[in-house]
Structure 1
Amino acid sequence: MNRLQFYIAFTHMRSKLKQTIVATAGVAFGIAVFIFMVSFIVGVGEYTWAVSMSQTPDVRLYNEVSANEVSILQQQYPADVNIVHHVKPKEEMLNLKDGRQAVKQLSQDPRVQAVAASLSTQVFYHLGAVNINGRILGIDVEAEDRLFNLSDKIITGSLEQLSTRPNSLVMGAGLARKLNVSTGDHLTVTTNRGGSFLVTVTGIFKTGLTAIDDEQSYASLNTVQRLLGVPASYITDIKVRLHDNEQAPELAAAWARRFDYSASDWQQDNATLLASERLRSLIVYGVAVTILMVAGFGIFNILTMMIYEKMKDIAILKAMGFSDRDVRWIFLAQALTIGVAGALAGLCFGFLMAWGISKVPYKSDIMISLDHLPVSFDIIYYVTAFCFGLITTTLAGFLPSRKAAKLDPINIIRG
């Protein structure tokens, strides 16, 4: 496209200045809304994902309770036809065999960032007439803190006292609210084996995940082992944080075979969250495409009307020696100019809208680490919006430009 073609295109747009501004504003509005929506929705998604992943290991090793594949009756009478309904799970220990040795070996793996052993058990919390079912997680305090940054989630009290104070626990904020306890209070814990113990609340934590905050407490590994009356080697879970969590599925399968444990990775444990993330992205892009298509139809209509109004000008241009290609480029230049101007304006307005909402204060009793609305400023969405806006306007201008190029100047001049 040469300067003359661009000058003619610019003259046409200037003669229909209001329609040009409306078309440009339509593109700008579509892109601004896209940037605003994506920035906010992706920001919320990233924050929710970060909160969920902060309490999810990349790989978890455990013993899975399973039903007997072959019943005792089948073992006793293998030649007979035996029908057994509702086979109960095997009476097997959840303890990881040689778990301490496995933790030591995993901690020496260069692919592993942090590893922690834990012991989980169901309990009843008793305080006066209140009885609540919950869970206690026995942990190696330092290792668990490296894995999940637990010390940052403590809102009152201290995590370190778990290591120094016997029969102490750090309780989830929701559970503490139900029991109406605070730091320094005492309550009774009853294990699933019937033993009752008096424990002291040395801290209260909040992760932002209701499933954890409303029913879980942390205690030292030694404390929970004493509560259950099991040896010091008894652990039920090994949790691993990797330097590259994309290796989690492969390493989980390899470690399950190596140590003869069951294993899960963060993708399996967060399958629902991953599916919702994909669905959210489809919805966001679907809405944005619809908005930009509406803007594209506006450009199409404006250029089509301009062709009918400029038919004599087109005939004169062709009579002066302009080729079909030259005429096509004149109208494509108008579409591209509207697209570029609208896209740049939309990016600026979209950024300002996203920046403005990121400064809105937001306080939540659940999400303690959130003080403003979460917004993502990832440049990839700005590039995507600009390219898509340009493509939409180019396609919207292609059909009118082709129609203009096919006009016969002789028929137009004859009227």
Structure 2
Amino acid sequence: MRHNINSDIALTHIITRKRQTLVAALGVTLGVGVYLFMNSLTSGFSSFSRDEMFKNSAHIKIYKDDELSQPLVPSAGSGHITVIVNPQVTTLSKKIINPEQLLSTIKQQPFVVNAISQVSFDAFYNRGKAQISGDCSGVNILDYDAMFKTSKYIVGGSLNRLQGNLNGIIIGSGIAEKLNLGIDDNITVTSSYNVVKVMKIVGIFTTGSSLTDNAKSYMNISTAQQFIKEGPSYVSNIFINIPDPNKSEEYAASLQQLTPYKVEDWKTTNADVLASGKTRDVLMSSIAMSILVVAAFGIYNILSSTIAQKINDIAILKATGFAGRDVIRIFLMEALIMGLIGTLIGLIIGAVLIEIMSNIYMGGPVGYFPIRFEPALFAKSFGLGVFITLCAGYFPARKAARVDPVEIFRK
């Protein structure tokens, strides 16, 4: 019975103060809607940035790292000085010894989804007097496609024409445009080892990234080995994909136990990009949270005003047997009702904004605006909206529960 009376009193306050209830609910609506929209936007941009990284970058890569010259006089202890004269890189070759065995061992690991080998080198693309610098990757193109989905970026020719074609090459659309080349045209490729070959263009791709499209090309791994004057066993990199990219550090540590070569996860490779992304995420989340907190202060002010105006009513309630916890329940229920109304409307408005933005085509590599529905964000926004409004209602409610009816009646 007492709970029903508490509910009736709370609803009476809500109904009789419609304007203030509406203002408080709209504040929560704005806060929840903005919070949901901005976090969905942040999540969308993070997913887009990650997809861009994984166009040409594996989750984990293995390569031979550069080595610096060793000290002339090794240090015998903390009291001795290490002598190094003109320290410099002493790595003579980037070759991975016995790559077939290492690749086979890696593929046997239960957490490895895919693993491929690659030979990369700096190249110059020439047509007449025109020349473009770039980098070329020698790969088994079908295995490479299975890892990086390269086929979806092909705009001319096909990947299949490169398979087994030692004279074929697939180039970026920027290279083709600058040198005015098309499918089945010839292009002269020169490596940094001064090896020159005339290659036939069997495919053209475009990723939307000018850095890649203006410099990147692919050829068979055996052809790439010829460009750098190496034999058929030469491999410069091994790329590995795993089920969950977020666990790349853990899996990289496991792979490091299998080889003396450098094992590097994608987070280490793209540390600067990820740091910028985290800064952006914190900034946008802080702005959204600030708006939500401002909305909570609106509820706090409204309930405080209600308590000040209803101070005599509160004194009468307590004098007739209502306990302090009953008063707290009444005002918390008011806050909850305003919070639920505002939160639900905010979720609807946020969903509408997300739907509108997700259908806006941006063009280029972005495509449609990088924002998407995520049920977890909706649940988080709902829970946060209700929690903050309850917190905003608790402090005025506690103040009301401490009202001394005797003091009020004396006044």
The residue type equivalent to 2:15 in the other structure is R
Deviation at 1:99, TM superposition (A): 1.0
Deviation at 1:412, TM superposition (A): 2.7
* Between 252-261 and 319-328, the greater mean CA deviation after superposition: 252-261
Contact 2:71 2:83 in 1 (8 A): no
3-state SS of paired residue (1:125): strand
Contact 1:167 1:199 in 2 (8 A): yes
Mapped to 1, the partners of 2:247 and 2:341 lie a distance apart of 44
Matches within 5 A, 1:1-400: 2-70=3-71, 85-90=85-90, 92-364=92-364, 366-367=365-366, 370=367, 372-400=368-396
Is residue 408 from structure 1 mapped to residue 409 from structure 2 by the alignment? no
Report the CA distance shift for 1:410/1:251 in structure 2 as closer, same or farther (over 3 A): closer
3-state SS of paired residue (2:258): helix
Deviation at 1:91, TM superposition (A): 5.0
Aligned length: 404
Deviations 1:308-350 (A, max 9, x none): 2212222222232222222222112111111111111111111
Mapped to 1, the partners of 2:302 and 2:110 lie a distance apart of 62
Mapped to 2, the partners of 1:11 and 1:100 lie a distance apart of 78
Contact 1:190 1:196 in 2 (8 A): yes
Mapped to 2, the partners of 1:404 and 1:325 lie a distance apart of 10
Deviation at 1:257, TM superposition (A): 4.2
- Look up the match of 1:78: none
Deviation at 1:290, TM superposition (A): 0.7
Report the CA distance shift for 1:412/1:66 in structure 2 as closer, same or farther (over 3 A): same
Deviations 1:42-65 (A, max 9, x none): 112212212212322122111122
Mapped to 2, the partners of 1:402 and 1:25 lie a distance apart of 24
Contact 2:172 2:212 in 1 (8 A): yes
Mapped to 2, the partners of 1:384 and 1:131 lie a distance apart of 54
Mapped to 1, the partners of 2:277 and 2:188 lie a distance apart of 41
The residue type equivalent to 1:33 in the other structure is V
Report the CA distance shift for 1:221/1:34 in structure 2 as closer, same or farther (over 3 A): same
The residue type equivalent to 2:35 in the other structure is F
Deviations 1:194-236 (A, max 9, x none): 1221112211112344432221110011221223332111111
Deviations 1:161-196 (A, max 9, x none): 112433221112233333332222222111111122
The residue type equivalent to 1:129 in the other structure is K
Contact 1:292 1:389 in 2 (8 A): yes
Contact 2:28 2:296 in 1 (8 A): yes
Mapped to 2, the partners of 1:178 and 1:271 lie a distance apart of 32
Contact 1:39 1:375 in 2 (8 A): yes
Contact 1:51 1:208 in 2 (8 A): no
Report the CA distance shift for 1:340/1:192 in structure 2 as closer, same or farther (over 3 A): same
Mapped to 2, the partners of 1:38 and 1:250 lie a distance apart of 28
Report the CA distance shift for 1:44/1:114 in structure 2 as closer, same or farther (over 3 A): same
3-state SS of paired residue (1:328): helix
Deviation at 1:20, TM superposition (A): 0.6
Report the CA distance shift for 1:354/1:143 in structure 2 as closer, same or farther (over 3 A): same
Contact 2:164 2:220 in 1 (8 A): no
TM-score by length of 2: 0.91
Deviations 1:355-379 (A, max 9, x none): 1211223322x34xx2x22222112
The residue type equivalent to 2:134 in the other structure is G
3-state SS of paired residue (1:162): coil
The residue type equivalent to 2:42 in the other structure is I
Mapped to 2, the partners of 1:207 and 1:344 lie a distance apart of 40
* Between 56-65 and 246-255, the greater mean CA deviation after superposition: 246-255
Mapped to 1, the partners of 2:260 and 2:89 lie a distance apart of 19
Deviations 1:107-129 (A, max 9, x none): 33332211111111111111222
* Between 269-278 and 288-297, the greater mean CA deviation after superposition: 269-278
Mapped to 2, the partners of 1:135 and 1:291 lie a distance apart of 48
Unaligned runs of 5+ in 1: 76-80
Mapped to 1, the partners of 2:209 and 2:49 lie a distance apart of 10
The residue type equivalent to 1:152 in the other structure is K
Contact 1:31 1:386 in 2 (8 A): yes
* Between 240-249 and 99-108, the greater mean CA deviation after superposition: 240-249
Mapped to 2, the partners of 1:311 and 1:253 lie a distance apart of 65
Mapped to 2, the partners of 1:247 and 1:380 lie a distance apart of 21
TM-score by length of 1: 0.91
* Misfit runs of 4+, over 6 Å: none
Mapped to 1, the partners of 2:231 and 2:313 lie a distance apart of 95
The residue type equivalent to 1:64 in the other structure is D
